[in-house]
Amino acid sequence: MKTEQIVKLGHYINGETVEGKSGRYGDVYNPSLGVKIAEVPLASAEEVNEVVALAQKGFEKWSKLSVARRMEVFHNFRALLVENTDKLAALIGKENGKTIDDAKGEISRGLESVDFALGAPHLLKGDHSVNVGGEINAYYMKKPLGVVTSIAPFNFPVMVPVAMSVMAVAVGNAMILKPSEKVPFSALFVAELWAEAGLPAGVWNVVNGDKEAVDALLEHKDVKAVSFVGSTPIAEAIYEKGTKHHKRVQAFGGGKNNMIIMPDADIDTAVNSFIGAAYGGTSQRCMAISTAMPIGEKTADAFVARLKEKINELKVGTYDDESADFGALISAEAKANVLNAIEEAIEEGAVLAADGRHPEVPHEEGFYLGATLLDHVTPDMKIYKEEVFGPARIVVRVNTLEEAIDLINEHEFGNGVTIFTDSGSAARKFTENIEVGMVGVNVPIPIPVGYHNFGGWKRSSFGEGQMFGPDLVRFFTKRKTVSERWFDTAYNESKTDFNFPSS
């Protein structure tokens, strides 16, 4: 087994890197090699309390700055992200396992959220009404909440933390980012870019940790809002505990995303779209396509036959292998979970159409799996019901569009879905009747751009608001409504009025 020098990391607090005090550390791996590369501190509740106090001081200064001054920092930050794309992509690949091209795509999507946050001067405007009655003017202003936190997943070490948090900072809050302890390098590097961009100390903090740190953030009275992305069980737990402690919470969970292939769809287009959307990023995306639903046996047979040919051409490799289509899974545990899901599906009667359990890989110790396809999966099988975070995708054969819509609507998840068709009427029926938060028509992964809202339905999300888009301004601000009247110097109220005020 190859070895690498093991680095001991820290937190990024109040504008500087600091050592952990808890004495507890988590292991960080290079998934491509399957070797430990770092130890990351796991913050104690006491450390979290210290960070919140420092962030509160940072907020008090940052929130007083004009939004124009804040945007100067944001312009600098955006330029630094672009300038450091190659370095940041290499960090993502090393700690996450995804290919460099995939990592660069992630950074590009993160820039969309920065670009949208640059519109904060416009987005923070309130409404103003003149002379609503009795020479009174009324208006409202949007004020930041204070200290807020984002708890991010491992699968997008840059895009998701940026999307969750840049608007929060743009509107005047101070941020405490708790990245996944599996991918701390990227978050710490982004924190350094913020400092270089001119962000004051205490406004952007990175606290590494596990459940103890998360619980401390959820319980602290000065943390006003929580944004979370991860699995559905944890999302639900975050929502319940956060709201119990009187916080705004938006918690995004898992998905079981479907692609419907109509008989009139171009099979090659549908297959190519499925391949990228299903297996890209080693299928470790909450918006990855999990299930193909071809309509009719003829469509299903043609789709699966062509799909098997394309799957056999896919290459698994290290994150820095330019010829690899996708890389390793995040951990040995993640690989074992996917293998177990495949075995259970076969035992339940699924047909193994493409077997990626033993791919040719450059490093046997790496956490690799190839693209696997299971055909003739039925809705009563576990692999249909549960999210599989890895390259094991399924085909569920249905007879009609109506049957497909009913199946999808009955599922507990409602994150993303797409249909491939040349029929406008089929697309219209689908988009109007499907009970899913993000819908595509001839679009493989229906993730909205950074200035549209992102969010699933049903048990794919809990709480207030959505990620990306204008809804973030509402989530990370509170409104103050003012009614004001100015008297002439000679004005004198002649009597006291005890009636309820009206216009």
Q: Which residue, chain included where needed, has tokens 């809990």?
A: 462
Grade residue 4 by pLDDT with cuts at 50, 70 and 90.
Answer: low
pLDDT at 464: 76
How far apart are the C-alpha atoms of 206 and 189, rounded to whole Å? 10
pLDDT at 438: 83
When pLDDT is averaged across residues 389-415 and rounded to a whole number, the result is 94
Q: Class assignment of domain 257-441?
A: alpha beta
Q: Which backbone phi and psi does 272 adopt, to 5 degrees?
A: -60, -40
Grade residue 489 by pLDDT with cuts at 50, 70 and 90.
Answer: low
pLDDT at 458: 84
pLDDT tens, position by position, 145-171 = 999 999 999 999 999 999 989 999 999
In the predicted structure, residue 101 carries a pLDDT above the cut 70: yes
Residue 441: strand pairing partners: 419
pLDDT at 494: 67
pLDDT at 192: 97
Residue 225: strand pairing partners: 148, 248
How far apart are the C-alpha atoms of 109 and 497, rounded to whole Å? 58
pLDDT at 1: 42
Q: Where in the chain is the domain with CATH 3.40.309.10?
A: 257-441
Q: Report percent pLDDT > 90 for the chain.
A: 78
In the predicted structure, residue 467 carries a pLDDT above the cut 80: no
How far apart are the C-alpha atoms of 13 and 249, rounded to whole Å? 23
Is 286 marked active-site?
A: yes
Classified by CATH at the fold level, domain 44-253+460-479 comes out as Aldehyde Dehydrogenase; Chain A, domain 1 (3.40.605)
When pLDDT is averaged across residues 321-344 and rounded to a whole number, the result is 96
For the ranges 13-27, 128-142, 279-293, 433-447, the maximum mean pLDDT occurs at 13-27
In the predicted structure, residue 116 carries a pLDDT above the cut 60: yes
Mean pLDDT of the chain: 92
User: Which is more confident, 39 or 488?
Assistant: 39
Catalytic residue chosen out of the listed positions 199, 217, 226, 286: 286
Q: Where in the chain is the domain with CATH 3.40.605.10?
A: 44-253+460-479
In the predicted structure, residue 2 carries a pLDDT above the cut 60: no
**How far is the CA of 409 from the CAs of 261, 374, 458, in angstroms?**
17, 22, 10
User: Which is more confident, 438 or 382?
Assistant: 382
pLDDT tens, position by position, 198-218 = 999 999 999 999 999 999 999
Query: How would DSSP label each residue in 429-462?
Result: HHHHH---SEEEES-SS-PPPTTS-B--EETTEE
Output the pTM of the full model.
0.92
Q: CA nearest 252: which of 111, 474, 453? A: 453
